[in-house]
């Protein structure tokens, strides 16, 4: 008779599975990674993996959801350490530059997932949209505090920097986007940028 698995062991196994899947999916792409590779990397039998997630799509959604919580948490913590509202907006780009410079950076996990599965998986598409909406809403808080009329200009600069850095493998797009954001902030302060952002 099999020994029952404790709740703590189950939590640890699930975390190990998500860690392994996230690393593989982000480094190599979702479709390029088979469940046997996830099994090997996690050290869990396939039967146990499928007890946690009935389908690979469910695992992908869970990986994206957990990554979103960690990613936005780190971004928010960095930006909100800055006191001055305009500088907070610019701190967004400083954080992005640090992220782009990390070893193994391969662009936006959500854009990558959308490119691979967005047209074929409603669940993955919903998770990608949820992440992008939450990112937009967080930037809206910072731009509102800085007196900008809306977040869209800053969001487009941030998203453009993320995609460009993912393609080039270079943190420079974050610096260029920061410079453009500083121009938007200055124009608004000087009274000429009421519709710029």
Note whether residue 124 is domain-resident: yes
Domain of residue 75, CATH code: 1.10.357.10
CATH number at residue 8: 1.10.10
3-state secondary structure of 159: helix
Residue 160: inside a domain: yes
> What would you report as the CA-atom Rg of the chain, rounded to the nearest whole angstrom?
20
Residue 197 within a domain = no
Is the domain of 63 the same as that of 102? yes
Residue 195 lies in a domain: no
3-class state of residue 157 by DSSP: helix
CA distance 36 to 183: 50
* pLDDT computed for residue 88 by the predictor: 97
pLDDT band with cut points at 50, 70 and 90 for residue 196: very low
Q: Are residues 8 and 61 located together in one domain of the fold?
A: no
Neighbours of 85 (CB within 10 A): 16
Give residue 127's pLDDT: 97
DSSP-based three-state secondary structure for 5: coil
- The number of domains in the chain is 2
Q: Please report whether residue 165 resides in a domain.
A: yes
pLDDT, tens digit (0-9, with 9 covering 90-100), for 6-49:
888 889 999 999 999 999 999 999 999 999 999 999 999 999 99
Average pLDDT, the chain: 93
The 3-state DSSP class for residue 145 equals helix
CB 195 within 8 A of CB 152: no
Using 50, 70 and 90 to split pLDDT, how confident is the model at 5? confident
Number of residues written out for the chain = 197
Residue 106 falls within a domain, yes or no? yes
Whether residue 66 contacts residue 18, with contact meaning beta carbons closer than 8 Å, is answered with yes
Domain identity same for 76 and 43: no
Does one domain contain both 11 and 69? no
- Taking only the tens place, the pLDDT of each residue in 154-190 is 999 999 999 999 999 999 999 999 999 999 999 988 7
Q: What domain range includes position 9?
A: 1-54
Same domain, 157 and 138: yes
């Amino acid at each position: 008779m099999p020994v029952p698995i404790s709740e703590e062991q189950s939590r640890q196994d699930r975390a190990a599975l998500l860690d392994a899947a996230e690393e593989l999916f982000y480094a190599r792409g979702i479709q390029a990674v088979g469940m046997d590779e996830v099994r090997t990397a996690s050290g869990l039998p396939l039967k146990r993996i499928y007890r946690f997630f009935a389908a690979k799509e469910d695992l992908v959604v869970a990986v994206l959801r957990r990554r979103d919580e960690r990613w936005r948490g780190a971004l928010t913590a960095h930006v909100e350490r800055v006191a001055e509202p305009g500088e907070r907006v610019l701190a967004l780009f400083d954080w992005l530059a640090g992220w782009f410079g990390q070893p193994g950076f391969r662009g936006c996990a959500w854009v990558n997932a959308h490119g691979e599965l967005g047209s074929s998986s409603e669940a993955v598409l919903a998770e990608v949209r949820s992440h992008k909406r939450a990112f937009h809403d967080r930037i809206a808080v910072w731009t509102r505090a800085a007196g900008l009329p809306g977040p869209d200009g800053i969001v487009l600069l941030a998203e453009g920097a993320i995609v460009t850095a993912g393609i080039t493998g270079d943190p420079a797009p974050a610096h260029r986007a920061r410079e453009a954001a500083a121009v938007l902030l200055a124009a608004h302060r000087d009274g000429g940028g009421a519709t710029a952002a």
